């Protein structure tokens, strides 16, 4: 059963303090078969008799990253619900065991340990700090992770199945756009970042761009994922004279930082790393008819870095089917890039399973081999094509840039289509 989740409350509560003046589809797992049957090799989470593959999902369905985790998970479910209803993956269906880790690495580890023996793969491991906590265990066991995080360190580990662009490349691309495409060679730029693997990757891109693009670096400020007050970070950027501020944050923190800056009369040009954005930063419902938030006006004109196509852009080949699936399985889903991301993540994983099925090997080793040798996967333009080889490396280095606009679909107007900078092309991505 699908239910509509209200995700604005988390932001609205935070903003009120600043400015003061799920259900999910869950399928039980019963099969941990490992032997060969009729020349078909299986493993945990694979039921040859019913042709069912059970996967695990570890997501933030509550807590500070709920605004990302919920639509991302819904997008994955939508893809597999559609696939299952239309013959599955060459006759195989996907079932899912979904758990809420609250964006907490310790809970993430506990839930991974509780499910890993009964699933074919972890189809979603959401978040950089959380995935970092299980990556070594998954690598040791050969368990493929649908790594819903773009930290550079993940792309050279064979078990990480990542779609999209590393955070560092996104930041480098954005600062190239600022200094070269727009000609702002001496822009005064600062960065506020989450003090973990996610934030470190934003800083990596910032530093790489500084070395090649030579903008004026006016400083940085960090915050802990558990912080609830962000006045010092906003004040630091103001005092440093930052005209442009890169925010490598999650939406709740972004709302607080932008809100605190606005209260202090500071309105820089915000450059939001993709996971810092949510349509709920704008209104109570995530759509134009909702009640405006306290930071709505301060958000207008901000850039949002990403690699998803504009929602509803029918020139994109895969858009018609995507919208049809969304309207069938999540008709109340508002335009949201995380939902599209989840849909594409499931699409890539289905391609992995299809390759493993063709090889008649759905063991852990067979699934990992299928991922490593998958080659190029097209998403119909919803996101850039991704390439997977035994050499690993980034699936793509493409970034697009949208600008926050009150009248655009999803409040985002595309201002720069997919591109990659020379800096991103020369970056290294070793863990």
Q: How confident is the model at residue 26 (pLDDT cuts 50, 70, 90)?
A: very low
Span 83-136, pLDDT tens digits: 999 999 999 999 999 999 999 999 999 999 999 999 999 999 999 999 999 999
The whole-number average pLDDT for the span 309-313 is 96
Q: How confident is the model at residue 32 (pLDDT cuts 50, 70, 90)?
A: very low
- In 244-311, the DSSP E strands lie at 244-248, 269-272, 303-306
Domain ranges of the chain: 8-165+313-388, 167-306+398-426
Q: How far apart are CA 202 and CA 246, in angstroms?
A: 8
Q: How confident is the model at residue 429 (pLDDT cuts 50, 70, 90)?
A: confident
Query: Rounded to the nearest 10 degrees, how much is the dihedral formed by the CA atoms of 315, 317, 322, 324?
Result: 80
Neighbours of 39 (CB within 10 A): 7
CA-CA distances (angstroms) from residue 247 to 46, 250, 256, 299, 405? 42, 9, 12, 12, 18
Q: How far apart are CA 23 and CA 13, in angstroms?
A: 22
CA-CA distances (angstroms) from residue 7 to 19, 280, 409? 19, 7, 18
HSE, CB side, 13 Å, CA atoms: give it for residue 82: 21
* Residue 150 structure tokens: 């773009």
Class of domain 8-165+313-388: alpha beta
pLDDT at 4: 38
Q: Using the 8-state DSSP alphabet, how is residue 41 labeled?
A: E
CB 196 within 8 A of CB 225: yes
* Region for 183 from its dihedrals, namely left if φ exceeds 0, alpha if ψ lies in -120 to 50, beta otherwise: left
Class of domain 167-306+398-426: alpha beta
pLDDT at 193: 98
Q: How confident is the model at residue 269 (pLDDT cuts 50, 70, 90)?
A: very high
Q: How far apart are CA 69 and CA 278, in angstroms?
A: 11
List the Cα angle 117/123/126 in 5-degree steps: 110
The whole-number average pLDDT for the span 163-174 is 97
Same fold, 8-165+313-388 and 167-306+398-426: yes
Nearest Cα residue to 282 out of 298, 269, 270, 266: 298
Nearest Cα residue to 52 out of 80, 24, 76: 80
- Whether this prediction's pTM lies above 0.95 is answered by no
């Amino acid at each position: 059963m699908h239910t509509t989740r209200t995700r604005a409350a988390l932001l609205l509560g935070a903003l009120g303090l600043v400015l003061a003046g799920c259900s999910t589809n869950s399928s039980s797992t019963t099969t941990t078969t490992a032997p060969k049957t009729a020349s078909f090799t299986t493993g945990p989470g694979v039921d040859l008799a019913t042709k069912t593959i059970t996967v695990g999902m570890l997501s933030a369905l509550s807590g500070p990253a709920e605004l990302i985790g919920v639509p991302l998970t819904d997008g994955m479910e939508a893809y597999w619900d559609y696939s299952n209803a239309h013959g599955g993956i060459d006759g195989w269906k996907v079932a899912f065991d979904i758990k809420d880790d609250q964006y907490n690495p310790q809970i993430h580890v506990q839930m991974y340990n509780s499910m890993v023996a009964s699933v074919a793969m972890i189809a979603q491991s959401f978040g950089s700090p959380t995935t970092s906590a299980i990556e070594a265990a998954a690598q040791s066991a050969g368990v493929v992770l649908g790594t819903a995080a773009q930290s550079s360190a993940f792309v050279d580990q064979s078990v990480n199945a990542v779609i999209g662009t590393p955070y560092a490349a996104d930041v480098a691309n954005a600062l190239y756009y600022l200094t070269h495409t727009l000609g702002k060679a001496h822009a005064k730029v600062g960065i506020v970042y989450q003090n973990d693997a996610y934030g470190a990757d934003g800083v990596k891109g910032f530093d790489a761009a500084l070395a090649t693009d030579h903008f004026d670096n006016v400083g940085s400020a960090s915050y802990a994922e558990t912080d609830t007050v962000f006045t010092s970070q906003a004040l630091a950027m103001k005092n440093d004279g930052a005209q442009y501020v890169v925010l490598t944050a999650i939406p709740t923190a972004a709302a607080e930082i932008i809100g605190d800056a606005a209260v202090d009369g500071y309105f820089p040009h915000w450059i939001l790393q993709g996971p810092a954005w949510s349509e709920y930063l704008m209104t109570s419902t995530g759509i134009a008819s909702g009640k405006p938030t306290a930071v709505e006006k301060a958000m207008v004109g901000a850039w949002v870095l990403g690699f998803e196509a504009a929602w509803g852009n029918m020139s994109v080949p895969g858009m018609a089917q995507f919208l049809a699936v969304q309207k069938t399985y999540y008709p109340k889903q508002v335009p949201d890039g995380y939902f599209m991301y989840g849909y594409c993540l499931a699409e890539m994983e289905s391609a992995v399973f299809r390759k493993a099925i063709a090889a008649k090997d759905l063991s852990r080793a067979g699934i990992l081999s299928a991922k490593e040798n998958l080659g190029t996967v097209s998403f119909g333009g919803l996101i850039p094509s991704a390439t997977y080889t035994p050499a690993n490396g980034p699936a793509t280095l493409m970034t697009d840039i949208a600008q926050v606009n009150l009248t655009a679909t999803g409040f985002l107007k595309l201002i720069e289509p997919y591109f990659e900078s020379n800096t991103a092309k020369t970056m290294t991505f070793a863990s």
